[in-house]
Amino acid sequence: MRNKLKVLIPVVILALLAFGISRVWNRQSESTARLALGTLERDRVTLAATAGEIITAQPIAQGSHVKAGDLLVQLDTTLELATIHKLESDIAQQEANLLKLRNGARKEELRSAVAHVDTARTELAESERDLKRLVPLAAKQMVPQSQADTAQSLRDSNVSKLQDAEAQLALMRAGTRSEDLQQAEALLASTKALLVVEQQKLGYLSVTATVTGTLDSLPWKTGERVALGAQVAILLADGAPYARVYIPETSRAVVNMGSELDVHVDGVSQSFRGKVRWIARDPAFTPYYALNGSERSRLVYLAEVQLADAARDLPSGLPAQVALP
């Protein structure tokens, strides 16, 4: 009997130990299953190059706090400034031409046109007198017929000259045609619009902060040529961070947009209250860094839990756990 007891006592002790360990493990698993794991993040604002140009200046160092409007990256403006100067010259020329069309002929030009008309009339009158004199003489064969024919041609030519001079004078007095004015005005407006576009492009070559926050990264260095659309600066917006976590499939039904949850951050004793601002519609598999013993094969939903303003001083990247209902 004693021998049997000696054998049974270790077996009972091992059974009790196994039962206790199992209960502790289950409690730990249940506790872990009610946590969503992730990291603290802030809204990232990515600024891209608007032209394939060389970086000429980066006046603010990475990690610095910046305000909206601060210059972060300056791209070369040489070509854009040349284009703008060319358009400004074109505008000056077109404005002068439009003013000329609106003012019409000057008094001196009008007097010159009147003088041309008077000269043409005098020459016509003289040629008509010569023609009247030579026609009867040619009929009587007192002068060659060719001389009369020459007088006739000269008279006809002077008639055309007078008509042309009178037409030129009439045009000057009538002023510029409305169609010509409209064409000149349209050309000027088009050039001014192009100037506005190029000035906008010039402004885009100065990459400025669009929000107040921290200059997280400058991927390129001064002197390097960037491609159009390349990321040249990355900002982290000011304000409280949000917890980017993965909600287990078993808790998705009770976690929705606007749900208020407690957020625990490593190294901080107090918890923070947060509100779910976004949650994915479609599930995904748990990423490796959010795995735990009870969730390795479960589906999760990516979510963002916005912390209150009391957490604004917490740095980004800290591990965070969100307590699930």
**108 and 186 belong to one structural domain:** yes
pLDDT average, residue stretch 202-218 = 96
Q: Quick one: average pLDDT of 100-127?
A: 83
Higher pLDDT, 174 or 143: 143
- Report the CATH number at residue 282: 2.40.30.170
| pLDDT band of 21, cuts 50, 70, 90 | very low
* Interval 99-111 mean pLDDT: 80
Work out the burial of residue 91: count CB atoms within 10 Å of its CB; fewer than 13 is exposed, 13-18 middle, 19 or more buried: middle
Indicate whether 101 and 169 sit together in one domain.
yes
- 23-60: per-residue pLDDT in tens? 433 444 444 458 898 999 999 999 999 999 999 999 99
pLDDT in tens, 241-251: 999 999 988 88
- Work out the mean pLDDT of the chain and round it to a whole number: 85
Distance of CA 222 to the CA centre of its chain: 22
Are the CB atoms for 128 and 202 separated by under 8 Å? no
For residues 130 and 274, membership in a common domain is answered with no
Instruction: Give the pLDDT confidence score for residue 143 in this predicted structure.
Output: 81
Q: Using CA atoms, how far apart are residues 5 and 16, in angstroms rounded to an integer?
A: 16
Asked if 251 and 325 sit in the same domain, the reply is yes
266, 315 contact by CB (below 8 A): no
Direct distance between the N- and C-terminal alpha carbons of the chain, in angstroms, rounded to an integer: 54
For the chain, give the percent of residues with pLDDT over 70. Answer: 85
Cα separation, 261 vs 242, in Å, equals 12
Residues 189 and 233 in one domain: no
Answer whether 148's CB lies under 8 Å from 131's CB.
yes
CA distance 165 to 144: 32
| Residue 162 pLDDT greater than 90, yes or no | no
Predicted confidence (pLDDT) at residue 295 exceeds the cutoff of 60? no
Name the more confident of 296 and 123: 123
SS3 state of residue 312: coil
Model pLDDT, residue 80? 96
Residue 294 lies in a domain: yes
Looking at residue 255, its pLDDT comes to 93
| Beta carbons within 10 angstroms of residue 246's beta carbon | 25
Q: Strands across the sheet with 71-75, in order? A: 55-57, 71-75, 206-208
Which of 199, 220, 250 corresponds to the end of one domain?
A: 199
* Domain-terminating residue out of 181, 199, 217: 199
Is residue 90 situated within a structural domain? yes
Same domain, 191 and 250: no
More confident residue, 105 or 203: 203
Structural domain of residue 213, as residue ranges? 46-76+206-237
Mark whether 194 and 214 lie in a shared domain.
Answer: no
- Round to whole Å and give the CA distance between 148 and 144: 7
Q: At what angle do helices 78-103 and 178-204 cross, to 10 degrees?
A: 160
Query: Is 12 part of any domain?
Result: no
Q: How many domains is the chain partitioned into structurally?
A: 3
In percent, the amount of the chain with pLDDT more than 90 equals 52
Half-sphere CA count of 219, side-chain side, radius 13 A: 14
The pLDDT confidence band at residue 294, using thresholds 50, 70 and 90, is low
| Same domain (yes/no): 192, 249 | no
pLDDT confidence of residue 40: 95
Contact 258/276 with Cβ under 8 angstroms? Answer: yes
pLDDT reported for residue 25? 35
Interval 133-153: pLDDT, tens: 888 887 888 888 888 888 889
Over residues 198-205, mean pLDDT: 96
Say if residue 193 is in the same domain as residue 93: yes
Q: Tell me if 53 sits within 8 A of 81, measured CB to CB.
A: no
Structural domain contains residue 3: no
* 325 lies in the same domain as 268: yes
Looking at residue 54, the DSSP 8-state letter turns out to be: B
Question: 69-80 pLDDT, tens per residue?
Answer: 999 999 999 999
Average pLDDT over residues 105-113: 79
Check whether 20 has a pLDDT greater than 50: no
Domain assignment present for 293: yes
